[in-house]
Structure 1
């Protein structure tokens, strides 16, 4: 970003270009009248695709009318969209900041690994572009579409501050930010710097009779209220064509002062992330000693 030029922001997501979270974010950015806004997002929902990319065939791109922006819908993944959006193949300039979101559902703990929303920001980080991912802790039956607008508004100060840091060249390039906004946005407790925890929704598998059966998974990997029959006669299924659907079987939550716990307490969590999470120090110490002893260990055939 040069001199007094308006910062250019590229918006992507994993819920798709028509998702209310992305539209609320884009609308808020445009109404702020401080940024040039570009949009490059999947043409359909791509939740939980992680950092997958399209390699074996081209992606299809179609221009979409979103007021105040130049926008394109892409047949690829969030990582594809971020990569294409910053490449100068689609837009004439490289954005100053990539914002991925707003996701419908939180992205904390180990769920960050599955998240296409986080992957959109991570892809920009891989290419040395300032980036953040934003998620809203949507709760079915309690949250409203207006909450996405509120979530966008409470994140605008962070977005503006990041662009200032870019202009001043003072932002550390060794990380990107993952932001989660609590469900009760109007009564949030402010920003809180957190670290990625180990919370995760545990899932299992259940045999089903058709591809339309089975509870649908929301963006935060929890089941929706879709009910299905559990009376399934496996003897009626062809052994060449068995179907299994995921289902939630439990959860593991953090007790420490981590992203998920702080989000539940009502904070807007700001979590710096790197490309990969390093292993714990004790694991490094264990395998350092273990590796030295490998030549002396008995072979598996003798066990």
Structure 2
């Protein structure tokens, strides 16, 4: 099928266009902050500026922070073509995992990408917050289907960070992206992991790359009863809360004993130690953490249940 026979604004045109003689590696970008988020826009802009990659975008049409690895099952998804200079982009009515799944399926784009990038997230994704992260889930979904992937987050700090830091973060990650693509081309890239990259706040003066492990840091969260005029907090990521005045959708006059409004509040800052992702980012390094998909318990727990479960089975008849 010739590209000239198709409307340049049509969905079919962009499917056919991907089948040309362009032999550059293909990178698909997604995120959880939404397709218009500054982190994704900066990442795509930097990738396109190198002229070394074909860039596709399949990202949520709105913010989907902290949705973890949820997927859409009960209704159809829609993909709307969106203008991003130098890229073929679609905004999708789904979660980050949905966007990745659709983007690598060959239903939206004409082929499977060589690499999936998820980010750049506004706020770090370290430690146990990885469990909640839609950004990390966007990369994990690709990994589950055998497509190499990297999630990228920037440790945004209100009052210190600026939008230009997303561009600096993207540029700082280019050597990692390029090196991964070389390994993919040479068929030497490990198949049993994906990478989670966290960029420090002072990215201009970062201390270099540091191989880390996932730590156990997390914000301690609680709940506070609120009324419609209570100031709240905006979740920048699973690791960052920035206070801003917002209005509850619940009318103050409508709150009764049968209906009470609550809002999440931060009750304690993360604590971690050792060569972990969180500590390394706070020390000014770009943290590079290989992740997998399995959630193994520690060996002590396994040992305990190895002895415990047979005893449960022996007592089972008498317990009924």
- Distance in 2 of aligned mates of 1:32 and 1:170: 24
Corresponding residue to 1:198 among 213, 216, 223: 216
Q: Does 1:44 align with 2:65?
A: no
Q: Deviations over 1:178-225 (max 9, x none)?
A: 000001111111111100000000110111123985322221443322
- Distance in 1 of aligned mates of 2:36 and 2:133: 18
- Distance in 2 of aligned mates of 1:210 and 1:22: 33
How many Å apart are 1:176 and its aligned residue?
A: 0.2
How many Å apart are 1:240 and its aligned residue?
A: 2.6
Q: Does 1:53 align with 2:71?
A: yes
1:32 paired residue number:
50
**Secondary structure of the structure 2 residue equivalent to 1:148:** helix
For the 8 Å contact 1:211–1:243, the answer to whether it is kept is no
Q: After the TM superposition, which of the residue ranges 256-265 and 204-213 deviates more from structure 2? A: 204-213
1:67 paired residue number:
85
- Distance in 2 of aligned mates of 1:269 and 1:299: 52
1:114 paired residue number:
132
1:99 paired residue number:
117
**Secondary structure of the structure 2 residue equivalent to 1:253:** coil
For the 8 Å contact 2:123–2:240, the answer to whether it is kept is no
2:256 paired residue number:
238
Aligned ranges for residues 139-288 of structure 1 at < 5 Å? 139-210=157-228, 214-226=232-244, 237-288=255-306
Q: After the TM superposition, which of the residue ranges 88-97 and 239-248 deviates more from structure 2? A: 239-248
- Distance in 1 of aligned mates of 2:55 and 2:37: 17
- Distance in 2 of aligned mates of 1:228 and 1:47: 17
Compared CA separation, residues 223 and 252, structure 1 to 2 (3 A): closer
2:12 paired residue number:
none
- Distance in 1 of aligned mates of 2:258 and 2:100: 39
How many Å apart are 1:227 and its aligned residue?
A: 5.1
- Distance in 1 of aligned mates of 2:210 and 2:318: 49
**Secondary structure of the structure 2 residue equivalent to 1:152:** helix
- Distance in 2 of aligned mates of 1:285 and 1:275: 22
- Distance in 2 of aligned mates of 1:127 and 1:287: 32
For the 8 Å contact 2:125–2:239, the answer to whether it is kept is no
Uncovered stretches (5+) of structure 1, i.e. residues with no partner: none
**Secondary structure of the structure 2 residue equivalent to 1:103:** strand
Q: Report the number of matched residues.
A: 296
How many Å apart are 1:284 and its aligned residue?
A: 1.0
How many Å apart are 1:140 and its aligned residue?
A: 0.4
- Distance in 1 of aligned mates of 2:81 and 2:26: 18
Uncovered stretches (5+) of structure 2, i.e. residues with no partner: 1-21
Compared CA separation, residues 236 and 62, structure 1 to 2 (3 A): closer
How many Å apart are 1:109 and its aligned residue?
A: 0.1
- Distance in 2 of aligned mates of 1:147 and 1:31: 17
- Distance in 2 of aligned mates of 1:42 and 1:158: 25
